């Protein structure tokens, strides 16, 4: 028995925010952002778009590519740290939007690693026989938790959604392995302090800008390189492969320098590394599914190729999935 990706889709909001636009908002420069991060522009959701709207658009594309009816979906898993609201879950709103009336629905909160966590759970739930067809979505409106006065973070983030549909199959295509990790001791390096049960929303928390993402980028940098390289190595070994067997490496797109350092660590040539950070920045859990779809559309991978998805994010969390297309 295998697990096939029968459909994949993404949605990028129309509005583009360039480095030149950011120069007007905070004290920064295109030169700084480009050389320190690799980002040139990012997408921003419109005022009427919430995370579930992006997710539904990406999912509709994936459903159409898979040529299935929404009724055939047994479960919807949405990875997000920017849900429409605390509850109901964004996945329930997606279920309603898609009219996927037979699907169970739940969200995963693992920041930028959320899609990898969700894909791993979907794989295991299909392998165990719980579900046959699972829709996995990474969807984020990071612009809604971005402090547009903080140059340390506002240049990095963007909005997007990516969706894949997995189905039990007899074909040899498969999700070969996954590896997930976390370290809550570093939870204060990337977090949003306000609005939860610890500091519910008050005028004071709003005045103190606690409803925006806070990040210690410099400290995260080193941990990100090690965690991404280690988790990729572990997932590749679990699949019974080596780095030489990998046709395309799709890392989380948080910083071009992190990606280059991870590739060096793994001794993988940058020619085998997929990049779209210049166009979208860091879209958290949407990053890897959006990149996977682009890699397929651009012909960077073909049927039978081995692809590794690797992510790292707030929590801290990290994870890798090895896929045979």
Catalytic site residues? 112, 252, 282
Single residue of 37, 133, 141, 320 touching ligand ACO by CB under 6 A: 37
**Among the candidate windows 131-139, 147-155, 192-200, 236-244, which touches ligand ACO by CB under 6 A?**
147-155
**Among the candidate windows 199-207, 219-227, 239-247, 293-301, which touches ligand ACO by CB under 6 A?**
219-227
308 counts as binding ligand ACO under rule CB under 6 A: no
CA neighbor of 54 nearest in space, from 44, 39, 64: 44
Single residue of 5, 54, 59, 155 touching ligand ACO by CB under 6 A: 155
34 counts as binding ligand ACO under rule CB under 6 A: no
225 counts as binding ligand ACO under rule CB under 6 A: no
Q: Which residue is nearest to ligand ACO (CB)?
A: 217
**Residues forming a β-bridge with 133:** 167
The two structure tokens encoding residue 258:
């992190």
313 counts as binding ligand ACO under rule CB under 6 A: yes
The CA distances from residue 187 to 146, 153, 168, 220, in Å, are: 18, 17, 36, 11
Single residue of 120, 284, 287, 288 touching ligand ACO by CB under 6 A: 284
Sequence-separated (6 or more) residues with CB below 8 Å from residue 85: none
152 counts as binding ligand ACO under rule CB under 6 A: yes
DSSP state of 56: H
Separation CA 249–CA 307 (nearest Å): 6
**Among the candidate windows 54-62, 220-228, 233-241, 263-271, which touches ligand ACO by CB under 6 A?**
220-228
**Among the candidate windows 69-77, 164-172, 193-201, 254-262, which touches ligand ACO by CB under 6 A?**
254-262
164 counts as binding ligand ACO under rule CB under 6 A: no
Sequence-separated (6 or more) residues with CB below 8 Å from residue 87: none
Chain positions 190 to 209 lying near ligand ACO, rule: CB under 6 A, are 190
Separation CA 163–CA 100 (nearest Å): 15
In the complex, the smallest distance separating the C-beta of residue 95 from ligand ACO, rounded to whole angstroms, is 25
The CA distances from residue 301 to 172, 294, 307, 311, 324, in Å, are: 17, 10, 8, 19, 10
The two structure tokens encoding residue 243:
């780095």
Pairing of strands 214-215, 190-191: antiparallel
Single residue of 82, 143, 173, 255 touching ligand ACO by CB under 6 A: 255
In the complex, the smallest distance separating the C-beta of residue 282 from ligand ACO, rounded to whole angstroms, is 5
**Among the candidate windows 7-15, 83-91, 265-273, 309-317, which touches ligand ACO by CB under 6 A?**
309-317
E strands, the chain, where?
2-11, 15-18, 41-44, 75-79, 104-108, 133-141, 159-169, 174-182, 190-191, 214-215, 248-251, 306-313, 317-324
217 counts as binding ligand ACO under rule CB under 6 A: yes
In the complex, the smallest distance separating the C-beta of residue 146 from ligand ACO, rounded to whole angstroms, is 10
Contacting positions for ligand ACO (CB under 6 A): 28, 32-33, 36-37, 111-112, 151-152, 155, 190, 217-218, 220-221, 224, 254-255, 258, 282, 284, 312-314
């Amino acid at each position: 028995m295998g697990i096939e990706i029968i459909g994949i889709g993404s949605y990028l909001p129309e509005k583009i925010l360039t480095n030149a636009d950011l120069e007007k908002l905070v004290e920064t420069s295109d030169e700084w952002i480009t050389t320190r991060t690799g980002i040139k522009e990012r997408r921003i959701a419109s005022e009427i778009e919430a995370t579930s709207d992006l997710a539904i658009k990406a999912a509709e594309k994936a459903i159409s590519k898979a040529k299935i009816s929404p009724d055939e979906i047994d479960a919807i898993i949405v990875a997000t740290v920017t849900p429409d609201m605390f509850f109901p879950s964004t996945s329930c709103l997606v279920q309603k939007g898609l009219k996927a009336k037979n699907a169970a629905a739940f969200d995963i909160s693992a920041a930028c690693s959320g899609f990898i966590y969700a894909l791993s759970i979907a794989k295991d739930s299909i392998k165990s026989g719980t579900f046959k067809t699972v829709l996995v979505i990474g969807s984020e409106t990071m612009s809604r938790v971005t402090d547009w006065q903080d140059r340390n973070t506002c240049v990095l983030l963007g909005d997007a959604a990516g969706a894949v549909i997995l189905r039990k199959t007899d074909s040899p295509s498969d999700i070969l392995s996954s590896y997930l990790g976390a370290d809550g001791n570093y939870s204060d390096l990337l977090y949003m302090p306000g609005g939860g049960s610890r500091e519910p929303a008050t005028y004071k928390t709003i005045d103190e800008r606690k409803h925006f993402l806070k990040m210690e980028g410099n400290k995260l940098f080193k941990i990100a390189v090690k965690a991404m390289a280690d988790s990729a190595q572990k997932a590749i070994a679990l699949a019974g492969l080596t780095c030489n067997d990998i046709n395309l490496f799709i890392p989380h797109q948080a910083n071009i320098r992190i990606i280059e350092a991870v590739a060096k660590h793994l001794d993988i040539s940058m020619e085998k590394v997929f990049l779209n950070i210049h166009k979208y920045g860091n879209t958290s859990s949407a990053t890897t599914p959006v990149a996977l779809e682009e890699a397929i559309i651009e012909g960077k991978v073909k049927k039978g190729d081995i692809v590794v998805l690797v992510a790292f994010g707030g929590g801290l969390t990290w994870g890798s999935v090895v896929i045979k297309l």
